[in-house]
Amino acid sequence: MAAWRDGRLTRREAIRRLLLLGLGASSAAAIAFGRPRPAGAAVPSQNFKGQTLVVTSFGGTWQQFMIDEHIPQFEAETGAKVELAIGLSKNWFAKMQAAGKDNPPYDIFVTNETYLAQLRAQGFFTPLPMDKVPNLRYVPKALRQPNDVGVLGLVGPLGIAYRTDLVKDPPRSWFDLGKYGTKTAIFSIGNSGEPQHVMKMAQAISGDYKSWKPAIDWIASHLCQARQVDFSGTELTMMTQGEVEVGMIDSPDWALMKAKGLPVAWVLPKEGYCGMFEQDMNVTAGSKVKDLGYAFINYWLSAPVQKKWAEKFYWTPANSQVSISPEVARLIPVTPDQLAKIPRWDYIWLNGSGAREAMTDAWNHQL
């Protein structure tokens, strides 16, 4: 196992080789993960041999982390097979709608709440029973959906980042973004982060986030020179190269820059965060392997697994029992006690009332 210890083998490959040597799945997993499994550990005790769980997953580094680090222990201990449905939220949403809630293409649907709220209201997801997802008891109420029909398992709040070597007058408010002209980055209206920005500005201007037109007017007047980015990765590149110096961004992406040594600071605006890129975890109502789905979400919410995601991608863990090192903690600026500063928007209203379409139309005409 020296190759596993020094990083030359992934956990999946280490477990596979141990199984070829004749070890049982539980023993192989215990060796590959470097310690006996204590009571209350991440892996469920049920045997789901022969069952397959279909889970939505983004591609790229997310997919690879799922394959190398997240899935192997779960598969080895349960006997189940996890199949990743690689894609994008909008496509998963469309496939769910087309298939209907009784015949879903996925057993586990994980993505941003903006794409899930309408499906939840239409009955596409089932409540998470506490006796089958016991790690829910460690998740703050602010991250649990009503009646536990879903849980926000990973949290990436939207705040402001800036280059400390280039900005002499740091931002303290969302309104300060208007001071930096072409050196400011905001999202394009097609990114789910920008409607959250609009609603936050509306809330700050009038107290009513559903009265969004004054917010569009303010953004058109004060951020007309700002660089609009399609997703956070574009902003990371631009901020790294100095093309932009200030921008709204999610905390995990700020942390990625900080971890690479870029001189960037994180700002909690005085009005609070404008929202988040969260990962909302759900079991589909029509799944034929619901118990396996509950076990998978319980596994994802466990402290050891949540810690792995925090250490790799700097997500704020949902499990309040997670203990992370000081080195990692400095890259996760949003702690459980700050969750109240993250607004929870009404996505049923945004996506179902015509507000989003009208917001997009106004944005395209004015910006």
* 67-79 per-residue burial string, b: 16 or more CB within 10 A, e: under 16: bebbbbbbbbbbe
Please list the alpha-helical segments (H only) found in 208-270.
Answer: 213-222, 232-241, 251-259
Confidence (pLDDT) at 16: 53
The strand pairing partners of 324, in sequence order, are none
Confidence (pLDDT) at 115: 87
- One-letter identity of residue 86: I
Domain ranges of the chain: 37-156+277-329, 158-275+345-366
Give the separation between CA 185 and CA 307, rounded to whole angstroms: 30
Among residues 271, 272, 273, 295, which one has the least CA distance to residue 283?
A: 295
Specify the pairing of strand 246-250 against strand 158-163. Answer: antiparallel
**Cβ count within 10 A of residue 327:** 9
CA atoms within 13 A on the CB side of 143: 30
Same CATH fold assignment for domains 37-156+277-329 and 158-275+345-366: yes
Provide the token pair at 291: 């118990």
Confidence (pLDDT) at 340: 85
Class of domain 37-156+277-329: alpha beta
Measured in residues, the chain has a length of 367
Confidence (pLDDT) at 336: 77
Cα dihedral 190, 195, 196, 198 in deg (nearest 10): 130
Give the separation between CA 189 and CA 363, rounded to whole angstroms: 7
Confidence (pLDDT) at 14: 54
Confidence (pLDDT) at 46: 72
Superfamily name with CATH number, domain 158-275+345-366: Periplasmic binding protein-like II (3.40.190.10)
Confidence (pLDDT) at 39: 36
Confidence (pLDDT) at 251: 95
- For 171, 235, 244, the CA distances from 162, given in Å and listed in that order, are 8, 11, 9
Give the separation between CA 119 and CA 191, rounded to whole angstroms: 19
Sheet hosting strand 227-229, strand order edge to edge: 227-229, 184-187, 246-250, 158-163, 264-267
**Cβ count within 10 A of residue 59:** 11
Per-residue confidence of the chain (367 residues) as pLDDT tens digits? 434 334 444 555 555 554 444 444 444 544 444 444 443 455 555 789 999 999 999 999 999 999 999 999 999 999 999 999 999 998 999 999 999 999 999 999 999 999 899 999 999 999 999 999 999 999 999 999 999 999 999 999 999 999 999 999 999 999 999 999 999 999 999 999 999 999 999 999 999 999 999 999 999 999 999 999 998 889 999 999 999 999 999 999 999 999 999 999 999 999 999 999 999 999 999 999 999 999 999 999 999 999 999 999 999 999 999 999 999 999 998 887 788 889 999 999 999 999 999 999 999 999 9
Confidence (pLDDT) at 253: 95
* Residue 278, C-beta contacts closer than 8 angstroms, at least 6 positions apart: 112, 113, 152, 154, 155, 156
Provide the token pair at 4: 């596993």
Confidence (pLDDT) at 21: 47
Confidence (pLDDT) at 11: 52
Give the separation between CA 329 and CA 314, rounded to whole angstroms: 9
